[in-house]
């Protein structure tokens, strides 16, 4: 066998299929048929060959070795032919690992020498050589999953359950790559009872295979040694490429019976199961001691993510006290993705204890840890993973038990108006959102505050942009601003005396995506470590992309009580809510327009329509006749938040019949896309 140089038609690299091996059988019964020609000594060049080798021979008479006996050239075709059929069965089929899937197939290369079942596609190799000894399957955790050797029920080879889905990791069985190819096509025999050697080789039907895959780990990827390579335990989380499946055993012959196949390994790599993650809605939170008094709790909300959650849990740990709490457990992929951390002062069931007294007040760093103990595989198995993910947020606890006599009014400045709710352009993953001017009006009605600092928690969505202006009793002063853990601190240059009035103004920008509920801001006036006062809240609401809406309209209007009017009379509006506001998040250049209509005034059994509203002048009157009149319009795209005050709304009367009564009318404001702006 050592001298067998392989089948002359073997196209595999280095004739690895046949060289140095028992020749493949082209017969349906798997046996080898050898034809020999016998020659007499008279037909040899040297009839006196000795029966032993000689190291240096010259083919002189009696000296040439028997294994180099040469036939005379004119006697070559005169030998006696003797056919010999061996009872030894040889092989005809060989293992050729191949991805049987057509969708997301791992056959990414083309073979230069092998075509089977009409395809020359092949798996890549560990090396750069197109061989059968180190084919490589690069398993993707999402498209394929993990290699297994157990299927469902009696399927001990592992059926292919590729494709990870929510809650389940895919399972790849050895059968997916178990291709066996016939060297000779023995399904049709010639007159010599032999099959043809086809270029496009036949694939052995699975029903004719009896395989015993071995699962091993090689010392070096691409090189196997069955006698020393250790057994591999599946499933596992190993990602290296020295794991392999060894395909061997038998194939059934067309004439029944079986013969061994020429074995081959399949090396494979596996993707990594993603770790779970956890994040908080706000990375910093301000809490007052009064909110935690008497067993009360404050909740911080967050979200978790794990596509393959099986029995995940979330715990929280406080950096100051070292206390821990389990905030969620038994989480599966189908569970809701919201969770909350309850914060308490002292022991409260289900809450994270931040301590009491001096331990409570100050900054606490809370670490949330989500643990994925195991995942489920598509073949029914469970595998331990022990993966974790962490998220951190800070809690600043402020003692509010000794508030000073201080008033603080916080507002957002827009178009000269002071607002407590302001729609703003949101940020995207690539572009920052709107820049907003914030203002705080502070009046100290109590005793002097020696170390005044104004603090505001900007959350992770806002960034301080400067433009700081501080006025004390109408005069500008120089204050310093700093940001730590998303908390903006503005330090005043001197003490805040009794009756001092301070106006602080600065800008922030939306730099991270705002939640649909927006962000709520408040101010704290600190005197050293002591809280002296708190402001009202200001909410910045994101303008939703593509949305166009009315935020505010003038009204209700009140024209008070008067004598019965006559033509030309004008009544003033006594109400103060006279702002028209529009939120424009359109992504096209349509602009918008607002119109108003008014129903006839109706009283006690009587009505009239001979009156009109004047918002700015008599040029555009809204008559009480249900007729739309244009009030405002904007051109261009995504104008953001627009508003306008109408402080001089009047009711004008023309000639008509009026009776004594209380009259009411309904005003309808209509917002529409302005496709053709004037």
- What span, in angstroms and rounded, lies between the C-alpha atoms of 484 and 57? 95
- The tally of CA atoms less than 13 A away on the side-chain side of residue 536 is 16
Q: Are strands 93-95 and 180-182 parallel, antiparallel or unpaired?
A: antiparallel
> CB-based burial of residue 167 (10 Å sphere; 0-12 exposed, 13-18 middle, 19+ buried)?
middle
Both tokens of 287, joined, read 């809490």
Local structure of 13: helix, strand or coil: helix
Is the peptide bond between 102 and the residue preceding it cis, with omega within 30 degrees of 0? no
Is-contact 81 37, C-beta < 8 A?
A: yes
Say what the pLDDT of residue 453 is: 96
pLDDT at 53: 45
Sign of CA dihedral 213, 218, 223, 228: negative
Strand, coil or helix: what is 84? strand
382 membership: H or E segment, kind and range: strand 382-398
CB 61 within 8 A of CB 211: no
- Quick check: 292 and 395 in contact, CB under 8 A? no
pLDDT tens digit sequence for 575-633: 888 889 888 888 777 789 999 999 999 999 899 999 999 998 777 799 999 999 999 98
Domains and CATH numbers, the chain: 13-89 (no CATH), 93-158+168-269 (no CATH), 277-398 (2.60.40.10), 406-543 (2.60.40.740), 548-673 (2.60.40)
Helix count and strand count (H, E) for the chain: 2, 55
| pLDDT score of 52 | 45
Cis peptide before 220 (omega within 30 of 0): no
How far apart CA 503 and CA 535 sit, in angstroms, is 13
CB 12 within 8 A of CB 29: no
Radius of gyration of the chain (CA): 44
Give CA torsion, residues 224, 226, 229, 235, to 10 deg.
90
Asked if residue 267 lies in contact with residue 229, where contact means CB atoms within 8 angstroms, the answer is no
**Contact predicate 399/361, CB 8 Å:** yes
- Read off the tokens for 49: 């060959």
**In the chain, which stretches have pLDDT less than 70?**
1-4, 48-68, 84-86, 153-158, 637-638, 675-678
Angle at 412 (CA atoms; ends 407, 417), nearest 5 degrees: 100
Nearest CA-CA partner of 594 in 641, 634, 541, 653: 634
pLDDT of residue 402: 84
499 close to 412: Cβ distance less than 8 angstroms: no
42 contact partners, CB below 8 Å, separation of at least 6:
none
89-102 burial, b if ≥16 CB within 10 A, otherwise e? bbbbbbbbbbbebe
With beta carbons less than 8 A apart as the criterion, state whether 477 and 494 touch: yes
Structure tokens at 652: 């004008």
User: Residues of 43-58 as b/e, b for ≥16 C-beta within 10 angstroms?
Assistant: bbebeebeeeeeeeee
Contact (CB, 8 A) for 277 and 392: no
pLDDT for 638: 65
Q: Classify the phi-psi angles of 355: left when phi > 0, otherwise alpha if psi is within -120 to 50, otherwise beta.
A: left
User: Tens digit of pLDDT for each residue in 160-193?
Assistant: 889 999 999 999 999 999 999 999 999 888 888 8
Nearest to 201 by CA among 105, 119, 110, 263: 119
Quote the CA–CA distance of 411 and 437 in Å, as a whole number: 9
- Give CA–CA dist 164/171, Å, rounded: 8
Cβ–Cβ < 8 Å for 31, 184: no
Instruction: Give the number of other CB atoms < 10 A from CB of residue 18.
Output: 21
In the beta sheet, which residues pair with residue 524? Answer: 455, 534
For 189-210, the pLDDT digits (tens) are 888 888 899 999 999 998 898 8
Q: Which letter does DSSP use for residue 92 in this model?
A: -
């Amino acid at each position: 066998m050592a001298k067998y140089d392989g089948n002359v038609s073997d196209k595999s690299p280095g004739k690895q299929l046949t060289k140095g091996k028992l020749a493949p059988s082209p017969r349906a019964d798997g046996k080898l048929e050898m034809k020999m020609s016998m020659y007499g000594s008279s037909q040899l060049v040297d009839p006196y060959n000795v029966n032993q080798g000689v190291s240096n021979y010259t083919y002189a008479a009696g000296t040439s070795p028997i294994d180099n006996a040469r036939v005379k050239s004119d006697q070559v075709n005169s030998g006696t032919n003797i056919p010999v059929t061996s009872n030894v069965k040889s092989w005809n089929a060989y293992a050729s690992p191949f991805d049987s899937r057509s969708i997301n197939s791992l056959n990414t290369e083309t073979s230069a020498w092998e075509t089977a079942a009409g395809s020359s596609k092949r798996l890549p190799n560990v090396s750069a050589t197109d061989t059968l000894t180190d084919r490589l399957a690069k398993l993707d955790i999402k498209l394929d999953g993990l290699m297994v050797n157990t299927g469902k029920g009696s399927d001990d080879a592992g059926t292919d359950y590729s494709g990870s889905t929510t809650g389940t990791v895919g399972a790849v069985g050895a059968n997916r790559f178990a291709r066996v190819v016939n060297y000779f096509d023995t399904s049709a025999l010639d007159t010599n009872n032999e099959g043809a050697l086809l270029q496009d080789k036949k694939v052995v039907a699975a029903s004719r295979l009896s395989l015993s895959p071995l699962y091993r780990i090689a010392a070096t990827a691409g090189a196997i040694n069955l006698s020393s390579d250790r057994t591999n335990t599946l499933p596992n989380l190993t990602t290296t490429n020295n794991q392999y499946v060894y395909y061997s055993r038998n194939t059934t012959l067309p004439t029944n019976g079986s013969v061994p196949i020429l074995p081959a390994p399949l090396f494979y790599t596996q993707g990594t199961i993603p770790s779970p993650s956890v994040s908080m809605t706000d990375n910093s939170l301000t809490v007052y001691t009064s909110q935690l008094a008497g067993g009360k709790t404050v909740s911080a909300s967050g979200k978790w993510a794990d596509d393959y959650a099986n029995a995940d849990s979330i715990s929280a740990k406080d950096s100051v006290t070292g206390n821990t709490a389990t905030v969620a457990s038994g989480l599966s992929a189908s569970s809701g993705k919201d969770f909350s951390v309850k914060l308490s002062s002292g022991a409260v069931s289900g809450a994270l204890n931040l301590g009491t007294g001096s331990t409570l007040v100050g900054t606490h760093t809370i670490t949330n840890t989500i643990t994925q103990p195991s995942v489920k595989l598509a073949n029914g198995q469970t595998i331990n993973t022990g993966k974790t993910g962490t998220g951190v947020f800070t809690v600043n606890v402020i003692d509010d038990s000794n508030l000073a006599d201080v008033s603080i009014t916080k507002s957002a400045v827009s178009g000269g108006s002071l607002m407590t709710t302001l729609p703003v352009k949101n940020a995207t993953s690539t572009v920052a959102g709107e820049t907003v001017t914030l203002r705080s009006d502070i009046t100290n009605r109590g005793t002097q505050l020696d170390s005044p600092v104004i603090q505001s928690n900007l959350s992770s969505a806002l960034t301080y942009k400067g433009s700081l202006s501080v006025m004390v009793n109408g005069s500008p002063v120089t204050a310093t601003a700093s940001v730590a853990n998303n908390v903006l601190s503005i330090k005043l240059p001197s003490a805040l005396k009794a009756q001092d009035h301070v106006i602080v103004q600065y800008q922030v920008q939306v730099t991270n995506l705002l939640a649909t509920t927006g962000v709520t801001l408040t101010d704290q006036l600190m005197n050293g470590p002591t809280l002296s006062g708190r402001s009202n809240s200001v909410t910045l609401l994101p303008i939703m992309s593509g949305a166009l809406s009315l935020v505010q309209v003038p009204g209700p209007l009140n024209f008070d009580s008067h004598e019965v009017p006559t033509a030309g009379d004008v009544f003033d509006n006594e109400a103060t809510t006279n702002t028209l506001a529009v939120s424009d998040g359109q992504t096209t250049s349509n602009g918008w327009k607002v119109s108003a209509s008014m129903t006839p005034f109706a009283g006690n059994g009587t009505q009239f329509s001979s009156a009109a509203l004047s918002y700015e002048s008599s040029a555009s009157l809204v008559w009480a006749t249900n007729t739309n009149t244009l009030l405002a319009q904007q051109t261009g795209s995504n104008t953001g938040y627009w508003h306008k005050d109408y402080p001089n709304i009047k009711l004008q009367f023309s000639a008509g019949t009026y009776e004594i009564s209380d009259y009411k009318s309904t005003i309808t404001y209509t917002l529409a896309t302005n496709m053709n702006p004037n």
